[in-house]
Amino acid sequence: MNFDTIEEHAMLRESVRAFFDQELPERRIREMDRARRIPRTLWKRFAELGWMGLSVPEEFGGSGADVSTAAVFCEELARRFPSLATDWLLVSMTARILRESGTRAQQAEYLPRLAQGDFLMGFGMSEPGGGTDVLALKTRADLEGDAWVVRGQKLYTSFADDADAILVLCRTEAAEGAKRARGLSLVLTPRNQPGVEVRRLELMGMRAACTCEVFLDGARAPADAVVGERGRGWYALLATLDEERILCAAMYVGITAAALEQALQYARDRQAFGRPIGAFQAVQHPLAETATELEQIRLITAKAAWLQSSGRDCATEAAMAKLAATEAALRATDRCMRVLGGYGLVEESPMERLLRDTRLGPFSPISNEMVKNFVGERLGLAKSY
């Protein structure tokens, strides 16, 4: 086994850190967090740096990077601005859906624009009455003449308010008996039209990320707007789950790393009773525990990403990485907040934001309880859901 740092990954880390230091300092991050919005100009800047096209094939203007590279990038974004990492993760996933399931015409139209920062795509799957039971969705699309007419409601829809189009999971055909997954399609629905109403949700954490409720009342999409095979949209999504979970794990590796770095610096600088507080065991021990867990989650995430990049099965490892990283980040931000004490609650401290942002991890993009159910099934136990 070789644990040497990959040169390209090291260069990517350095470039992302330089970007934050020079162009997106903590003061601006805090402004975006308070405004609950990431300006579109930032995505254009990402495109100039080549970061919008990391997951886009070279033939469409991207760099065609593998999942291991994307995980490094996602980790570095989350170290400084988790909301930004959350939105970029969606950019990566929508690129993958188009790359692997889109028609040649859809790929040629949208992937270059995505890589250039000229096209943003939201994703609508969850609904108010479904939650984890996604297949209970009620949104449907009917082909009327030369257009799909979409009716329904989506909740926790990522990027909808900023998007040019929303990829809507909806029912286009009746289910085949007990197989509720049959008959679902992914319909790329234009955002700016009378039949689409978007309400931006004000979350406690990931405040700058664009999470919305979407009302579809006769929204129209072209007849050729189905991404993937009609009636089999759910199966197209299943093919993306491992990568999504790996990138989600990488995000929370980044959050854990950021919390530890801030707490260590504070423990070195803060004086009490004539010496740095880092000299006391009560401060050293939680930081040692956090450092140990950081190594563990970084390794399992790297392994899952390596398996995925190698074209090997990684479903169990990807799920485990998501579970381990999100739970570790919860513990890390709590421990490190205690090291900072009152200063950790001050908004000028990034720790305050990290503590809020990490609370999303245990139930997004899938709840950790469902992850445990899945892992249990992969261990040979009876299916529990």
Q: Could you read off the pLDDT of 112-135 as tens digits, one per residue?
A: 999 999 999 999 999 998 777 888
Residue range(s) defining the domain that contains residue 343: 240-378
- Residue type, position 338, single letter: R
Residue 130 pLDDT: 74
Shared domain for 148 and 249, answered yes or no, is no
Shared domain for 244 and 374, answered yes or no, is yes
Shared domain for 130 and 184, answered yes or no, is yes
| CA–CA gap between residue 192 and residue 18 (Å, rounded) | 36
Domain count, the chain: 3
Shared domain for 339 and 246, answered yes or no, is yes
State pLDDT tens for residues 228-275: 999 999 999 998 999 999 999 999 999 999 999 999 999 999 999 999
CB count within 10 Å of CB 174 equals 9
The CATH number that applies at residue 174 is 2.40.110.10
Shared domain for 196 and 258, answered yes or no, is no
The CATH number that applies at residue 30 is 1.10.540.10
Nearest C-alpha neighbor of 250 from the set 131, 115, 92? 92
Shared domain for 128 and 111, answered yes or no, is no
Shared domain for 115 and 33, answered yes or no, is yes
Shared domain for 148 and 173, answered yes or no, is yes
Residue 178 pLDDT: 61
What residues are paired with 122 via a beta bridge? 166
Shared domain for 255 and 196, answered yes or no, is no
Give the predicted TM-score (pTM) of the model: 0.96
Residue 132 pLDDT: 75
pLDDT below 50 — which residues of the chain? none
Q: Which of 81, 100, 119 is the last residue of a domain?
A: 119
Residue 176 pLDDT: 67
* Burial of 296: CB neighbours in 10 Å, binned 0-12, 13-18, 19+: middle
Residue 211 lies in a domain: yes
State pLDDT tens for residues 347-374: 889 999 999 999 999 999 999 999 999 9
